[in-house]
Amino acid sequence: MKTSEVVNLELALRPLRELYGRTRAAEFGPLQLKAVREVMVGKGWSRRHCNKQVTRIRRMFRWACENNIVRPEVWHGLQAVAGLRWGRTAARETGPIKPVPDAIVDTTLPYLTPTLQAMVQLQRVTGMRPAEVCIIRTG
């Protein structure tokens, strides 16, 4: 079964393969990475998502460098490409994540197990994230 990170890596590679699928990795550099990033922006990806995907591409080149597949200069060159900055790019910005309306939570609660109901109610009064509720232990 594929993890979500594998799926994200595949998505990051799509624009790279569209532009440079036949280019040798040794010939890939900062300008090519910026061109890939512009394709991502052109697809309507948000600024944060573009930055995360570019980081994933860099990470793949780091792995290739670690395993002596590409020269260190290739990976180091990609490190020079700065991330897209807020307000200085055509990439769209995402809005803040807002809480689920209370009416929807109240409608959903009867369908949850007692344990999940308690977890949701604890989140409501404390503002905890789901992972934080899951790791709570008595003691």
Residue type, 138: T
- Domain presence at residue 139: no
Q: List the structure tokens of 6.
A: 């594998």
The domain total for the chain is: 2
Count of Cβ atoms closer than 10 Å to residue 15 Cβ: 22
Would you say residue 2 has pLDDT above 80?
no
- Domain presence at residue 61: yes
- Domain presence at residue 122: yes
Residues 56 and 109 in one domain: no
- Domain presence at residue 97: no
Count of Cβ atoms closer than 10 Å to residue 49 Cβ: 20
Which domain does 116 fall in, by range?
102-134
CB-facing half-sphere around the CA of 36: CA atoms within 13 A: 30
Tell me the three state secondary structure of residue 46: strand
pTM of the model: 0.73
pLDDT for res 5: 87
Residues 69 and 125 in one domain: no
Tell me the per-residue pLDDT of 74-114, one tens digit each, with 9 for 90 and over: 999 999 999 989 989 888 888 888 888 999 999 999 999 99
Residues 12 and 71 in one domain: yes
Q: What is the DSSP string of 59-88?
A: HHHHHHHHTTSS-HHHHHHHHTSPPP-TTS
Residues 68 and 9 in one domain: yes
- Domain presence at residue 89: no
